[in-house]
């Protein structure tokens, strides 16, 4: 059995602005870097670190892996965030203005990647870890939309993970099974430290 802790990346600059990112590639904010450092201190020991190939997830994984000496980070494109089409870069207010009521009704514009497609590719990436890392514990850093899609495809409650929050899962012969919720940081107590104080 392979155990996976799947968590969301630290805050990005677009998270800070309230913008839908999708597969756009903004970097971590200063707070996001601090969140990743705090998460490293709380991370369980793992054998392998994988991350989405988007910068915010990669950098979060690198900070955790470097601070805990977990080894190199392997990127996995199938853990990329949902493609959000025309909504990429927009705030909720901008979306509401252009598509009134769509968010409340859980509607999406044409070209927005369906959650089923996201779940299929992400669950495929996670279950493939059993073949490449049998019996090991894996930290996988991805995105809120990926985690929600994976959870919708499993018998668990749908949730919106905060930065550095997610869920334990295990992969065995029956596929992916969801475990306990995990939160690696106390959001109220993460402080941004000047680079010369690191």
- 7, 140 contact by CB (below 8 A): yes
Nearby residues of 115 by Cβ (< 8 Å), 6 or more positions away: 82, 145, 148, 149, 152
- Does residue 81 carry a catalytic annotation? yes
Nearby residues of 194 by Cβ (< 8 Å), 6 or more positions away: none
| pLDDT for res 122 | 95
CA-based max dimension of the chain: 49
Domain ranges of the chain: 2-83+114-197
| pLDDT for res 173 | 78
Q: How confident is the model at residue 190 (pLDDT cuts 50, 70, 90)?
A: confident
Reported in sequence order, the residue ranges of the chain that DSSP labels E, i.e. its strands, are 2-8, 48-51, 73-75, 137-142, 165-172, 175-183
Task: Determine the average pLDDT of the residues in 72-93.
Answer: 98
Segment 11-36, tens digit of pLDDT: 999 999 999 999 999 999 999 999 99
- Could you say which of 9, 33, 133, 143 is catalytic? 9
Q: How confident is the model at residue 8 (pLDDT cuts 50, 70, 90)?
A: very high
| pLDDT for res 197 | 38
- Does residue 69 carry a catalytic annotation? no
- 36, 60 contact by CB (below 8 A): yes
pTM: 0.92
Q: Domain 2-83+114-197: which CATH class?
A: alpha beta
What is the Cα–Cα distance from 143 to 136, expressed in whole angstroms? 22
- Could you say which of 33, 81, 113, 151 is catalytic? 81
């Amino acid at each position: 059995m392979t155990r996976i802790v799947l968590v969301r990346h630290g805050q990005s600059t677009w998270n800070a602005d309230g913008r839908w990112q999708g597969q756009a590639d903004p970097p971590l904010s200063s707070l996001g870097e601090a969140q990743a450092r705090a998460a490293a201190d709380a991370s369980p020991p793992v054998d392998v670190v994988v991350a989405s190939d988007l910068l915010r997830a990669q950098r979060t994984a690198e900070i955790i892996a470097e601070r805990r000496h977990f080894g190199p980070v392997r990127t996995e494109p199938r853990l990329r965030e949902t493609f959000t089409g025309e909504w990429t870069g927009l705030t909720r207010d901008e979306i509401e203005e252009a598509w009134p009521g769509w968010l409340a009704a859980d509607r999406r514009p044409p070209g927005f990647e369906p959650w089923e497609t996201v779940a299929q590719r992400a669950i495929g990436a996670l279950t493939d870890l059993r073949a490449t890392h049998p019996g090991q514990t894996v930290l996988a850093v991805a995105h809120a939309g990926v985690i929600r899609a994976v959870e919708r495809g499993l018998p668990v409650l749908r949730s919106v993970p905060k930065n550095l929050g997610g869920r334990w899962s295990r992969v065995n012969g029956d596929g992916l099974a969801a475990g306990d919720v995990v939160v690696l940081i106390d959001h109220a107590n993460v402080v941004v430290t000047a680079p010369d104080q690191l």
